[in-house]
């Protein structure tokens, strides 16, 4: 008997026999029926970080009737992002987007079809398009800055939202939609956004007032996009933008996309890219203006780069590494999507643990970006951590996951970085800026985590700008 158990242990240590699977450890402190819901609603990042400290890279907890498992740390992320769609499934979780993006598109399509649909956008994000986007980002931010006048005060999140809607509608859809931002499109888009709420996450088709205005807005947007497409077809106009890329695209079987599919894919890109960018732009401003010595380095870099380059371009923005590290540090400290979720369709085994089917599997960029063995003094805003020799982001492919990973990795990361750098370069070049609020706490009440509002920003125009118009 002793001999037999010894040989099983030997086989196991030689990894010839799998170790017996154990249940995922549970986070203590949950209430009957509601589980950890109260702590989660108050401050999900503190609750989940406590879970990591007490239970390690995998633990389970309940929010009401739903059982969740959090995967934390680069190895656990690697496993999570590599899992196949029939194990960890995104489509089942993102059903609340279907009334907005539409039937047969994105999370209402099979994973293969969704890949094909989003794949049509890649050519519209290539280097040549980025050169054009850099100019558009500069023009839109300059116009925005001109409209502010010489001095005054704005609510920063509101201002960043307005500006990024203009940039995103022009770059991610087309000029005609940008031209209608102030005459109806922004309003319809806002109604669509209000359709993303906690109730909608669980019951996206429930006929509430918010869902009814969401559905009306979806019809208005579809009519607008359809009108623009018809006009383009009639006139033969062929602008180089996302809408045209989709109008010219063909599925593998040779079929053209319907107007409704094109509308849905454009809305997918807009929803994925606009609010997230607005929020990260806001955090970037807040942190920079609260760190005077780093801000001085950013301003020095702007002076130096534009003394040589003159105008803003993709090339000039690429040279701004001091600013880029500030954006990266904001991706780390304030990832707009604090949780990514998948439904477990088939039981999955990670190390010794089995995660049962039906569980919701989660990674949390906000928790993982605060792991003290990866990021020194993790609560501190310190963009220098990305400089050599530390290069804290390069320790593992999945140390920083603010833009996700694996097959659902964000396709707009370079666009987002470019946009944030263009916005803050123009604003810092034109104005002296001062925050008139204490540093705000995160507002966890929304799907995309921005700061509590208002965040008052005072501005005064500088006598000389470095960037040539
Ligand atoms: C600061 C800005 C942005 C942040 C923080 C961000 C973050 C993310 C994250 C975390 C994911 C993965 C979601 C998941 O795994 O469940 C994602 C996916 C995606 N992002 Fe972004 N994103 C940003 C900007 C953009 C932009 C500008 C675009 C458009 C060009 C975009 C398009 C997409 C799309 C289409 C997906 C879905 C990919 C898929 O499921 O295959 N994002 N984004």
For every residue of 13-38, DSSP letters joined together read: HTTSSPPPPEEPPBPS-PBTTTBTHH
* For residue 14, pLDDT beyond 80: no
The model's pTM is 0.94
Pair 194, 236: CB distance under 8 Å: no
pLDDT single digits (tens) 216-259 = 999 999 999 999 999 999 998 888 889 999 999 999 999 999 99
What separation in Å is there between the alpha carbon of 404 and the centre of ligand 1? 7
pLDDT single digits (tens) 360-390 = 999 999 999 999 999 999 999 999 999 999 9
Summarize the confidence of residues 314-343 as an average pLDDT: 98
What separation in Å is there between the alpha carbon of 408 and the centre of ligand 1? 8
Chain mean position to CA 387? 24
Cα angle 222, 118, 238 (rounded to 5 degrees) comes to: 60
Summarize the confidence of residues 65-79 as an average pLDDT: 96
pLDDT at 202: 73
pLDDT at 196: 81
Model confidence at 1, pLDDT cuts 50, 70, 90, reads very low
Burial class of residue 47, CB neighbours in 10 A (0-12, 13-18, 19+): buried
Q: How confident is the prediction for the chain on average, in pLDDT?
A: 93
- What is the atom index within ligand 1 of the atom nearest the CA of 274? 27
* For residue 320, pLDDT beyond 80: yes
pLDDT at 230: 96
Can you tell me the distance from the alpha carbon of 438 to that of 285, in angstroms, rounded to the nearest whole number? 13
Tell me the angle at which helices 321-333 and 292-309 cross, rounded to the nearest 10 degrees.
140
pLDDT single digits (tens) 108-118 = 999 999 999 99
pLDDT at 445: 84
Q: At a CB cut-off of 8 Å and minimum separation 6, what does 222 contact?
A: 102, 259, 260, 263
Fold classified for 92-341+412-461? Cytochrome p450 (1.10.630)
- What is the atom index within ligand 1 of the atom nearest the CA of 268? 35
pLDDT at 10: 54
* For residue 311, pLDDT beyond 80: yes
Task: Identify which of 279, 412, 446 to mutate to test ligand 1's pocket (most ligand atoms within 8 A of the CB).
Answer: 412
Domain edges within the chain: 92-341+412-461
pLDDT at 2: 44
**Ligand 1 first shell, C-beta below 6 A:** 90, 118, 172, 268-269, 272-273, 276-277, 280, 336-337, 340, 402-404, 408, 410-412, 415-416
């Amino acid at each position: 008997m002793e001999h037999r158990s010894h040989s099983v242990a030997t086989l196991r240590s030689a990894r010839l026999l799998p170790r017996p699977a154990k249940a995922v450890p549970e986070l203590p402190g949950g209430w009957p029926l509601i589980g950890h819901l109260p702590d989660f609603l108050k401050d999900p990042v503190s609750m989940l970080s406590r879970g990591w400290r007490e239970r390690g890279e995998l633990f389970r907890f309940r929010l009401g009737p739903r059982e969740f498992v959090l995967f934390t740390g680069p190895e656990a992320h690697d496993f999570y992002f590599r899992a196949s769609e029939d194990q960890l499934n995104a489509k089942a979780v993102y059903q609340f987007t279907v009334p907005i993006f539409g039937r047969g598109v994105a999370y209402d399509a099979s994973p293969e079809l969704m890949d094909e649909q989003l794949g049509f956008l890649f050519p519209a994000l290539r280097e040549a398009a980025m050169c054009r986007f850099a100019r558009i980002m500069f023009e839109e931010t300059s116009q925005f800055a001109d409209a502010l006048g010489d001095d005054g005060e704005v609510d920063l999140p509101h201002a960043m939202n307005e500006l990024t809607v203009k940039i995103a509608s022009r770059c991610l859809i087309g000029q005609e939609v940008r031209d209608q931002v102030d005459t109806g499109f922004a309003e319809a888009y806002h109604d669509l956004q209000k359709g993303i709420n906690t109730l909608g996450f669980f019951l996206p088709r429930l006929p509430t007032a918010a869902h009814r205005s969401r559905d009306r807005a979806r019809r208005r947007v579809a009519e607008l996009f359809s009108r623009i497409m018809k006009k383009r077809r009639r006139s033969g106009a062929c602008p180089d933008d996302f809408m045209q890329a989709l109008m010219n695209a063909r599925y593998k079987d040779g079929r053209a996309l319907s107007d409704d599919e094109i509308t849905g894919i454009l809305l997918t890109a807009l929803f994925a890219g606009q609010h997230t960018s607005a929020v990260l732009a806001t955090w970037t401003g807040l942190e920079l203006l609260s760190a005077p010595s780093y801000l001085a380095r950013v301003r020095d870099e702007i002076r130096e780069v534009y003394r040589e380059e003159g105008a803003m371009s993709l090339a000039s923005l690429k040279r701004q590494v001091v600013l880029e590290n500030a954006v990266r540090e904001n991706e780390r400290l304030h990832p707009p999507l604090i949780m990514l979720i998948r439904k477990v369709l088939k039981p999955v085994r990670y190390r010794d643990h089995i995660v049962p089917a039906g569980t919701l599997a989660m990674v949390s960029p906000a928790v993982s970006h605060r792991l003290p063995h990866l990021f020194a003094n993790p609560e501190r805003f310190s963009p220098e951590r990305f400089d050599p020799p530390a290069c804290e982001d390069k320790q593992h492919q999945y140390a920083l996951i603010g833009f996700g990973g694996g097959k659902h990795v964000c396709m707009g990361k370079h666009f987002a970085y470019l946009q944030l750098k263009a916005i803050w370069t123009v604003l810092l070049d034109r104005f002296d800026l001062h925050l008139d609020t204490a540093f705000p706490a995160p507002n966890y009440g929304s799907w995309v985590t921005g700061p509590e509002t208002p965040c008052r920003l005072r501005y005064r125009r500088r006598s000389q700008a470095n960037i040539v118009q």
